[in-house]
Amino acid sequence: MAKASTKRPTLWGLHYSPWTEKARWALDVNEVDYRYREHLPMIGELPLRWHTRSRDKGVPASVPLLLDEAGSHGDSEQIARRAELLGKGFGLFPEGGDATLAEWTERAQAALEHARALVIHATTQSDLAQIESLPPAVPSLMRRSMRGVARRGARFLARKYGADPSALDEHERALQEFCSALAKALARGDHLIEDRLSYADMVCAVAVNAMNPPAHLFRHKPATRGVWTREAIVEAHPEVFAWRDRLYARHRGL
């Protein structure tokens, strides 16, 4: 049972974003009762900046963003730690696991940034993915003519996060290296710290999602699934994707 709270927390996120997924997963395993709200890049930028106005200089306003009685928590790891306090205290940050956790958090964050650059590049090249990314409220007759809005959204994110969509080989190589290192670490067992699910497993699994989304994502958006899929990496590291699927089946109910 989640601990009682006077105000129900609200999580703002992007449902397909791996960063949002880290926060949701941590809130869910902790059985925190929260409301979810979908952020719209570009359009939601100003309110997002306002809610995260206490962030450090130079840090972009981003989701996931958790608003609760203690204030705003604007970073996925901060939210996961908060989830441990708000909820049942699952134990995502085991004592003695700090060094391993810091190492994988850093590697997974770098992998996510490389993956984001590739997704943005692929999105700008795919008319269909741009159409699929428009909000469902846009009527079908208008979707094709409005795909430029989605393309502007992708370029906006590239500028905001400093993604370099021209260094395609470098991004791909970095992702291959991340998967090789992860496969090596997982050869000892399914968990990176002790023999149980921790935040280190979560950050790596969501980084893997950014190279090949789990089955429940983009089910009816084949072009979007395509821009998020790195075929060569999926072929080179089937064990890593099989691990992600096992983790999701056992610990995410998906």
**What does the binding site for ligand GSH look like in residue numbers (CB under 6 A)?**
14, 17, 19, 41, 45, 62-64, 75-76, 116, 157, 160
> Nearest-CA neighbor of 5 among 59, 111, 82?
82
Q: Least CB distance from residue 191 to ligand GSH, whole Å?
A: 22
Sign of CA dihedral 223, 229, 234, 239: negative
Q: Which is nearer to ligand GSH, 62 or 198 (CB)?
A: 62
CB of 24 to ligand GSH, least distance (A): 12
Cβ-based nearer residue to ligand GSH, 17 or 123: 17
In degrees, rounded to 5, the angle at the alpha carbon of residue 84 between the alpha carbons of residues 78 and 85 is: 95
**CA dist., res. 156 & res. 161, Å (int):** 9
Under DSSP, the state recorded for 56 is P
Minimum distance of ligand GSH from residue 199's CB (angstroms): 12
**Least distance in angstroms from the C-beta of 189 to ligand GSH:** 26
Q: In b/e form, how buried is each residue of 101-119, taking b as 16+ CB within 10 angstroms?
A: beebbebbeebbbbbbbbb
Q: How far is the CB of 229 from ligand GSH (least distance, A)?
A: 17
Minimum CB distance to ligand GSH smaller for 157 or for 211? 157
**CB-wise, 24 or 244, nearer to ligand GSH?**
24
Give the tokens for residue 175.
């992702």
Considering the complex, state which of residue 76 and residue 133 has its C-beta at the smaller distance from ligand GSH.
76
User: Computed over its alpha carbons, how large is the radius of gyration of the chain?
Assistant: 18
